[in-house]
Amino acid sequence: MAEGYARVSGKPGVVLVTSGPGATNVITPMQDALSDGVPLVVFSGQVATSAIGSDAFQEADVIGISRSCTKWNVMVKDISELPRRINEAFKIATSGRPGPVLVDLPKDVTAGILRTPLPYKATTPGINLGLPMNPLQAMEAPTDIAMIQQAAALINQAQRPLIYAGNGVLSSPMGPKLLAKLVHEGNIPVTTTLQGLGAFDETDGKSLHMLGMHGSAYANIAMQQADVIIALGARFDDRVTGKVDTFAPAARAAALQGRGGIIHFEIQPKNINKVVQASIPILGDVVTNMASLVPLIKPSPRHQWFADIKQWKERFPFTYVKAKAGEPMKPQEVIEELDRQVQDKKEDVVISTGVGQHQMWAAQFYRWTQPRQMVEHHLHLRMGLLKTCTCIFTNTAYLRGPKFENLIFKKNNE
302, 330: one domain? no
Backbone angles phi, psi at 188, to 5 degrees: -125, 130
Tell me if 132 is assigned to some domain.
Answer: no
Asked whether residue 196 is domain-assigned, the answer is yes
pLDDT at 4 over 90: no
pLDDT in the model for residue 407:
44
**Is the pLDDT score of 123 beyond 90?**
no
Same domain, 290 and 156: yes
Task: Give the CATH number, domain containing residue 388.
Answer: 3.40.50.970
What pLDDT is recorded for position 160? 98
Tell me if 321 is assigned to some domain. no
Q: What is the extent of the structural domain holding 264?
A: 145-315
- Work out the pLDDT band at 404, boundaries 50, 70, 90: very low
**Among 176, 180, 186, CA closest to 152:** 186
State how many domains the chain has. Answer: 3
Examine residue 97 and state whether it is found in any structural domain, yes or no: yes
Same domain, 178 and 277: yes
User: Which of 252, 286, 315 is the last residue in one of the domains?
Assistant: 315
Residue 320 lies in a domain: no
Q: Is there a domain that residue 67 lies in?
A: yes
Q: How high is the pLDDT of residue 136? A: 39
Residues 231/272, Cβ–Cβ less than 8 Å: no
Q: How many CA atoms lie within 13 Å of 66's alpha carbon, on the beta-carbon side?
A: 33
d(CA 140, CA 220): 32
pLDDT at 129 over 50: no
> Do 240 and 118 have their domain in common?
no
> In the predicted model, what is the mean pLDDT of the chain?
86
For residues 273 and 352, membership in a common domain is answered with no
User: Is residue 168 located within the same domain as residue 301?
Assistant: yes
With respect to residue 135, please indicate whether it lies within any of the assigned structural domains.
no
Is residue 95 within 8 A of residue 41, CB to CB? The reply is no
Alpha carbon distance 229, 260 (integer Å): 8
Residues 212 and 299 in one domain: yes
Q: How buried is residue 284: exposed, middle or buried, by Cβ count under 10 Å (0-12/13-18/19+)?
A: buried
Do the domain assignments include residue 128?
A: no
Task: Let me know whether 307 and 330 are in one domain.
Answer: no
Examine the domain organization and report whether 118 and 176 are in the same domain.
no
8 A C-beta contact, residue 259 and residue 226: no
Query: Do 303 and 219 reside in the same domain of the chain?
Result: yes
Cα(116)–Cα(114) distance, integer angstroms: 6
User: Residue 273's domain is classified under what CATH number?
Assistant: 3.40.50.1220
The answer, yes or no, to whether residue 185 has pLDDT greater than 90, is yes
Residue 172 CA, chain-centre distance (Å), reads 14
User: Do 96 and 177 share a structural domain?
Assistant: no
Q: Which of 264, 295, 315 is the last residue of a domain?
A: 315
Element (H, E) at 102: strand 100-106
Q: Dihedral through CA 103, CA 104, CA 107, CA 111, nearest 10?
A: -20
pLDDT at 172 over 60: yes
Is it the case that residue 76 has pLDDT exceeding 90? yes
Are 93 and 54 in contact by the 8 Å Cβ rule? The answer is no
pTM: 0.78
- Residues 306-323 have a mean pLDDT of 95
Task: Give the residue from 122, 155, 170 where a domain finishes.
Answer: 122
Side chain identity, residue 163? I
Please tell me whether residues 291 and 210 are part of one structural domain. Answer: yes
Q: What is the tens place of the pLDDT at every residue in 246-257?
A: 999 999 999 999
With bands split at pLDDT 50, 70 and 90, how would you rate the model's confidence at 42?
very high
Residue 66 scores a pLDDT above 60:
yes
Residue 72 phi/psi, 5-degree rounding, is -165, 145
Quick one: CA torsion of 123, 124, 126, 129, rounded to 10 degrees? 0
pLDDT tens per residue, range 189-248: 999 999 999 999 999 999 999 999 999 999 999 999 999 999 999 999 999 999 999 999
